[in-house]
Amino acid sequence: MFEPTVIARIEQERLSLPCWAVDPDLFFAELPAEVEAAKAICAACPVRQACLAGAVTRREPYGVWGGELVVGGTVIARKRPRGRPRKSPVPEPRPERPIAVPTAA
């Protein structure tokens, strides 16, 4: 769903949106590879920015919009593969040691 101005632009310029040519289910896929494929389809879309902005504003629950995966209205960098969560926590990275700076004597 777009803002009326974007719909007017699509109609006036007779734009053809890339997602119109593929199965819409791809944009709501569960598999990470399919999510990435949907993102790639959006890359050439002339209304990509408006699509993403609308999804975030509407707080879309899930899907690829404007070339990004949106979950609960927030852009998520990457779809995590299915699977059980870890049984043990991931160890924290070791803190860096302070560098000893020699002082002038």
Binding site for ligand SF4 (CB under 6 A): 17-19, 27, 41-42, 45, 47-48, 51, 65-67
Bridge pairing between strands 74-76 and 68-71: antiparallel
Question: Measured from the CB of residue 35, what is the shortest distance to ligand SF4 in angstroms?
Answer: 12
* E strand or H helix at 18: none
Q: Report the nearest approach of ligand SF4 to the CB of residue 81 (Å).
A: 23
Torsion 64-65-71-77 (CA) sign: positive
Which C-beta is closer to ligand SF4: that of 28 or that of 32? 28
CA distances from 90 to 3, 21, 28, 81, 84 (A): 43, 42, 29, 17, 14
Cβ proximity to ligand SF4, 19 vs 32, nearer residue: 19
Q: Which is nearer to ligand SF4, 65 or 69 (CB)?
A: 65
